[in-house]
Structure 1
Amino acid sequence: MKTLQKIWRAVEEISAGVFFFGGITLIFYGVVMRYGFNSPKAWVEEVVRYVIIWGVFLGFSIALRHNQHIQVDLLYDKMPGKMKKFVDLFATLVSIFFCLAYTYYGYVLVEARYHSGMVSLDVGIPMWIVYLILPISGVLFTLRFIERLVQLVRGKDVKYDNPLT
């Protein structure tokens, strides 16, 4: 099980990193072509947008794993321990249901774009490929929240996950 978790973490981090690095590399290429060679490439901006979006959506799962998403915990910090556990369980269950709906409707959107044959303007990338990150990230979010739920039920503190492990 630990090996599977390490592989899962590595795949998440490498894939998000590859998309971010690819996006930054394409931005650099676009700037050099535009200002260095006076030959702007119209397709670069569109592809960069899609690549960065994929990197961000894959990165959300990593942020969730490390509990580095935005949260307001002013009231939460003042609660007693049992109340905190109840709130954590409730929030995690609601998050799982949200992620399941997010995944389902992401799939519906991908399916609609696939059947419509819609493509991007400059490059002609099928839009279902662009939108495919929605159900993929939804599955990753759901798995992370289920992992969090299991840790909460086992009594482990998920509030401060160490990002270096």
Structure 2
Amino acid sequence: MKSANKVLSKIEQYFIAILLLIVAVILFINVVLRFFGTSMLWAEELARYAIVWITFVGASVCVYKGAHIGVDVIMNILGEKPKKILSLILALFSLIFSVVFTYFSFKITMNVHNTNQISSTMGIPMSIVYAAMPVGGILMSIRYIQEFISLIKVGENK
């Protein structure tokens, strides 16, 4: 399971890195082209949609790395056992949120797909853009399941 976890983590991180590189290069080229009085009309739209994907896949990476913003004042004053119980509760609520989020974002994405919406400049199906939400939700759910299992295993070892 640890090797699959590392593979998933690498895929997510390379995906984000490649999209960031593409956004930076395309926007740089567009800025240079504007200096010469022209531009790529689709560049800003592509950058916007890539950032949407980066955000939702990046949310999963943040779960994996424990980098989501949190208030740890309560955690710092609790003892070891209450801290573990609260961590389990938080992981469970986060998992429930990500599953509910995935469900509703999938419904929204399917609605966009069924109405055949396309982007204004590039002409790509908007369902591709909206698909970032359920994909990110699934990835976050996987990460919260891993975190929950990890917290339970740590408690069993003590």
TM-score normalised to structure 2 length: 0.93
Aligned to 1:28: 28
Q: Secondary structure at the match of 1:155?
A: helix
Aligned to 1:159: none
Deviation above 4 Å: which 4+ runs of structure 1? none
Give distance in 2, aligned partners of 1:61 and 1:106.
15
Offset of residue 43 of structure 1: 1.3
1:68 correspondence with 2:62 = no
Aligned to 2:16: 16
Structure number with greater CO (CA < 8 Å, separation at least 6) is 2
| RMSD between aligned residues | 1.2
Amino acid at match of 1:74: V
Offset of residue 55 of structure 1: 1.4
Aligned to 1:136: 135
Give distance in 1, aligned partners of 2:131 and 2:119.
14
1:49 correspondence with 2:41 = no
Unaligned runs of 5+ in 2: none
Give distance in 2, aligned partners of 1:91 and 1:34.
48
Give distance in 2, aligned partners of 1:19 and 1:134.
16
Count of residue correspondences: 155
Unaligned runs of 5+ in 1: 157-165
Q: From the two aligned structures, give the one with the greater helix fraction.
A: 2
Offset of residue 22 of structure 1: 1.1
Aligned to 2:151: 152
Aligned to 2:3: 3
Q: Secondary structure at the match of 2:73?
A: coil
The sequence identity of aligned pairs, in percent, is 30
Aligned to 2:81: 82
